[in-house]
Structure 1
Amino acid sequence: MAEHKVEADQSQALEALLDPAAYPHPVDRVERVITHISQVFLAGEFAYKVKRAVSLGFVDFSTLMRRRFYCEEELRLNRRLARPLYLDVVPITRLEDRVQIAGAGDVIDYAVRMRRFPQESLLSARKLDGQLIDRLAERVAQFHLSLTPAPPDSPYGEPDAVLAPMLDNFGPLRRALVGDAEPQDLLLQLTRLERWTHNRFRRLRGQLEARRREGAIRECHGDMHRGNIVVIDGEPLIFDCIEFNASLRWIDTISEIAFLTMDLAEAGEQALARRFLNRYLEVTGDHGGLAVLRFYQVYRALVRAKVCAIQLSQQAEAGGDQAGPRAAIGHYLALARTCSGRHRPQLFITHGLSGSGKTGLGHLLREHLPIIQLRSDIERKRLFGVPEQHRPQAHQSQQLYSAQATERTYRRLLELADNLLGSGFSVLVDATFLRRDQRAPFLALAQQRRCPYRILVPEAPIAVLRERVRARYADGQDASDADIDVLELQLARAEPLTAEERRFALFLDTEHPLQIESVLARIVGKECNQTHSE
């Protein structure tokens, strides 16, 4: 009861901030946005975010000092990814009956002052495109790479600490659904998801611990979804991170990716979710995180459902409309169920000369199929610590493209493909695969994994290949370092597919832009797509 009174007193005082005269700058009108843990006042050029005096278990803003501390934390943490938006922390004061921002009198609360932006600039409100998603993936990847791993003796990332907030989702959801007029189906889904969470945790416990030891636990954003990303001058800024609970912020970086990809898929942008994931992996090389990706995606969908359950309870107490939050709970439970599913993984490799369109084909397919593209150009450079788009000097090229380096690169691609297939992900290995001894281990892997296997063979006239290679090399914006001399050497040394290999081959004319529907139909409809002999 005391907590309710504190929040009621705070809410009554904050009503004064709806008056434009409460601000030390010109304001025509004030708009207010209320969430389950904050009130945001949109006033003139600025937004003032005030923490509600609530204590919900995972967050405690019940005292003035706590609210001040977390305002300062919010400023510190959000300046990492959205410095232009976050300005300062300001006091809310009261002198007699007058409440103001940074006025005279006693300090009664605090607010984070932010630069206001148009709501249509939010990712959740605007049309998305591939180039923007690429920039976002690169920004998030570089952010994660810049973070310091949690100290080995910290509790963050310990398997039991990972499981605890996952299990915390189920209580509020079950309480919200019990008493509902039609709760049975949703309660059944919730029970199945709780059982799935326990079972997956038992299977993944060792991998979760390995992720912690390997430095995957870092001080992340914690709440990265479309509604917390704004595009300013063409660049994505990620704001409103979790400042109120360190254990929800010091997390596996792949948990952060799970939230954003889940959120994109929930919005019907599955192709862009796949594009984001692939580009993020190309930059970070964190393919090992895919083993726990779906585990975290289910968790993130259930977090969304729990927030809706909290809103449902608040609406019930206030006598408001409960239909929206109740429907949203069902929506996110269904999404969690989808994320918990698995598909039969497939292995694709390419076979083609430089400039034949292997990478473009991969980029096209990875937006329409649930596959991870492994580019030999990127993985080769990663092995030798060379930046993706760095053009090596002559002495570097001798090492980078030696026979030993090429052999090492194909071994690494095989290892990655094996791990990804084992984690339930389809793989497209994007390399020239000009020699039979390079291709044979991948067919053997598909046979061992008993998964469908295809060789994608993009083809174009030699004159077209030469033109493309010259243009790409001159542009210098791609990971490939192949020039015209490399192409001529490939022409002389390429070993054609054997009769056995041709059983798995799909030849694609890439002289002109590919029609994705036709390519997908041929992939799905290809008869000889199994790895066993008929």
Structure 2
Amino acid sequence: MPESPSPPWLRGLLEPAAYPHATGPIELRETHISWVLLAGDFAYKIKKPVNLGFLDFSTLELRRWFCTEELRLNRRYAGNLYRAVVPITGSPEHPRVSGTGSAFEYAVAMRRFDDAQLFDRLLDAHRLLPEHLERLAETVAAFHASTERATAADHHGLPERQQQAAEINFTTIHPRLDDPFDRTRLDALWAWTRAEFARRAPLLEQRKQQGLVRECHGDLHLGNIVLLDGQPTPFDGIEFNEDFRWIDTMSELAFLAMDLEARGEVALAYRFLNRYLELSGDYPGMALLDYFRLYRAMVRAKIAQLCRDQAGTAEGKAHWLRRYRGYVEFGLRLIKGKRPFLLITHGVSGSGKSHLTARLADCLSAIRLRSDLERKRLAGLAAEAQSGSGLGDGLYSAAMTERTYQYLAATAEALLAAGHSVIIDATHLKHQQRLQQRRVAERCDAAFLILDCQAPRELLRARVRSRAAAGTDPSEADLAVLEQQLAQREVPTEDERPFVVTVDTSQPQAMEGLPERVRKFLESIPGMAAP
């Protein structure tokens, strides 16, 4: 916690008499830009009178305005948390919250919640689950789909403004470093950021034209998400700087992914990313993920340095320096990169491909493409929609199948070219379909493997019947489709055998050990590091 001089009236707000409701013991918390008072069922957030360049709370009128903005913006996704902007009146000796008379300060009044339900606390307690990240991804995807979009005519999200925000991180940090070793490491990240921006600026501009710059949360890290009434709820979004919230949606995802990865929770990061991508289809944006992940790591590094400045003890300063260096270490690992891989599945409906690939995507830090979802997206249908297509026609005609596989190959190639490993969940029953994906891997210098999923026929039939009865899976395959697949499938050829990893999905032990088998297979390929 930063330790900085506080105004005299803040002490008065530690007294229950300052509030219009019962409080019990009052707790004061502090960040580098605000004080938060926890009083009974409410929390009151007061902005510090600071000007840090990227934010300006230096006057009362500015603080009042930004309190109003904070309320407006955060009610978009946390309306049950944010209550009102309230005046602080009275005198510095006897302040009153929501009192009468002239205000000498303002606060944002919020519903108080249990800190143990914050995502960072849940993670520390080993209680943050994959399903929490999936539900959060659904919340964020729905929010991004509905929030206001920048237009081609406005200044929001222009590539040069994005890079300016990235530069601010470095220019804020650099003069605060007193160790030449720290400066050298920061300079390496700064140089990479400039080079990557030059490489990605056309894509940033294209995405602005496409409406993918939106009024986002802007500060989506684990400490700003709470499990509220069982629902993952973002809060405390950016109000103080338009450029920090009018951003490419991929920048929003990158912050949470970075925060999880920097804490060693890579599998949870990829569970979040994959669920969001399934819903949004924004695979082209993944070419920007590394640029934005480093940008977000430097945001946290900058805050660590600001907190170090405000720390009043040597121990406090050392704590924040360690935090800063942790984000730098993450950045250095990120820019080093590694050779990607392409894993495709081979197997009929009901052979367990989707179950296995969901787990492998988490364990192996890969982006998963699902043919059943992408086929429907290409047809303009929701994942859960039933097309009513018959065997071999409509959504499942030969032409639509060809179009789907072409899309999967093109999307995988773009992801691999951007440095991301890819898993394609599709039947790949034809040799030509598998060869198409193998050629993609070769063009991208990516490792390639085929996951051959097998199960006894009666189990396949039982799974297909059960899935159809549930009606919750994107696949519309029925028993007739299964029988056709079994009759027409082309087993891997001799020249494909070196790339095949076979798994009997009727055997739980085989499925449990699969991630390690795949990892060892990849490690045996020259130039591949452990995923």
Structure 1-normalised TM-score?
0.93
Structure 1 position 450 matched with structure 2 position 439: no
How much has 1:525 moved relative to structure 2?
Answer: 3.1
Decide which of 387, 392, 416 is 2:387's aligned counterpart.
392
Shift of 1:530: 8.3
Question: Is the alpha carbon distance of 1:223 and 1:473 closer, same or farther for their aligned partners in structure 2, counting shifts above 3 Å?
Answer: same
Which residue of the partner structure matches residue 169 of structure 1?
169
| Deviation (angstroms), 1:131 | 1.1
| Identical columns (%) | 44
Residue among 240, 243, 252 paired with 1:244: 240
The corresponding residue for 2:417 is 422
Secondary structure (helix, strand or coil) at the match of 2:275 reads helix
Question: Is contact 2:9–2:94 with CA below 8 Å preserved after alignment?
Answer: no
Aligned pairs for 1:129-144 within 5 A = 129-144=129-144
Aligned positions, number: 519
> Pick from 458, 463, 466: which aligns with 1:468?
463
Give, in angstroms, the shift of residue 68 of structure 1. 1.1
Q: Which residue of 2 aligns with 1:29?
A: 25
Counterpart AA for 2:274: N
1:488 lines up with 2:483 in the alignment: yes
- 2:231 maps to 235
Per-residue CA deviation, residues 85-108 of structure 1 (Å, 9 max, x unaligned), is 111111111158421011122211
| Equivalent residue number for residue 342 of structure 1 | 337
Instruction: Give the Cα separation in 1 of the matches to 2:518 and 2:24.
Output: 60
Distance (Å, rounded) in 2 between the aligned partners of 1:361 and 1:518: 8
In the superposition, relative to structure 1, how do residues 91 and 280 fare at CA in structure 2: closer, same or farther (>3 Å)?
Answer: same
**1:519–1:85 distance in 2 versus 1, CA, 3 Å:** closer
Structure 2 vs 1, CA of residues 327 and 455 (structure 1 numbering), >3 Å: closer, same or farther? same
Task: Measure how far apart 1:519 and its partner are.
Answer: 4.0
Partner of 1:85: 81
- The Cα offsets for residues 223-262 of structure 1, whole Å up to 9 and x where unpaired, read as 0011010002221010000011111000011001110001
Letter of the aligned partner of 1:137 in structure 2?
A
Q: CA offsets, 1:456-498, max 9 Å, x none?
A: 1011101011111111111112211111121112112212222
- CA offsets, 1:143-174, max 9 Å, x none? 11222320111122222111111111112222
**Cross-structure match for 1:276:** 272
- Equivalent residue number for residue 428 of structure 2: 433
Code of the residue aligned with 1:177 in structure 2: it is L
1:62 equivalent in alignment to 2:58? yes
Deviation at 1:13, TM superposition (A): 2.0
Alpha-carbon distance in structure 2 between the residues aligned to 1:240 and 1:398? 50
**Distance in 2 (alpha carbons) for counterparts of 1:185 and 1:77:** 40
Residue of structure 2 in register with 1:409 after alignment? 404
- C-alpha change, 1:437 and 1:356, in structure 2 (3 Å) is same
Matches within 5 A, 1:497-516: 497-513=492-508, 514-516=510-512
Please tell me the root mean square deviation across aligned C-alpha atoms, in Å.
2.1
The DSSP-based 3-state class of the residue aligned with 1:356 is coil
Q: Is the 8 A contact 1:150 1:219 kept in 2?
A: yes
Alignment of 1:279-358 (within 5 A): 279-315=275-311, 321-358=316-353
In structure 2, relative to structure 1, the CA distance for the partners of 1:397 and 1:97 (3 Å cut) is: farther
Letter in 2 for 1:170: F
* Shift in CA distance, 436/515, structure 1 to aligned 2, threshold 3 Å: closer
Aligned partners of 2:364 and 2:519 also within 8 Å: no
Distance 1:325 1:528 in 2: 40
State the Cα deviation string for residues 298-326 of structure 1 (Å, max 9, x = none). 1111111111111112226x888311112
Superposed CA deviations along residues 59-90 of structure 1, whole A, max 9, x for unmatched, are: 11111111111111111111111111111111
Task: Report the residue type matching 1:213 in the other structure.
Answer: Q
* Structure 1 position 15 matched with structure 2 position 11: yes
Indicate which of 41, 44, 55 corresponds to 1:45.
41
Q: Does the 8 Å CA contact 1:353/1:490 hold for their aligned counterparts?
A: yes
C-alpha change, 1:90 and 1:528, in structure 2 (3 Å) is closer
Give the equivalent residue in structure 2 for 1:4. none
Partner Cα separation in structure 1 for residue 113 and residue 338 of structure 2: 41
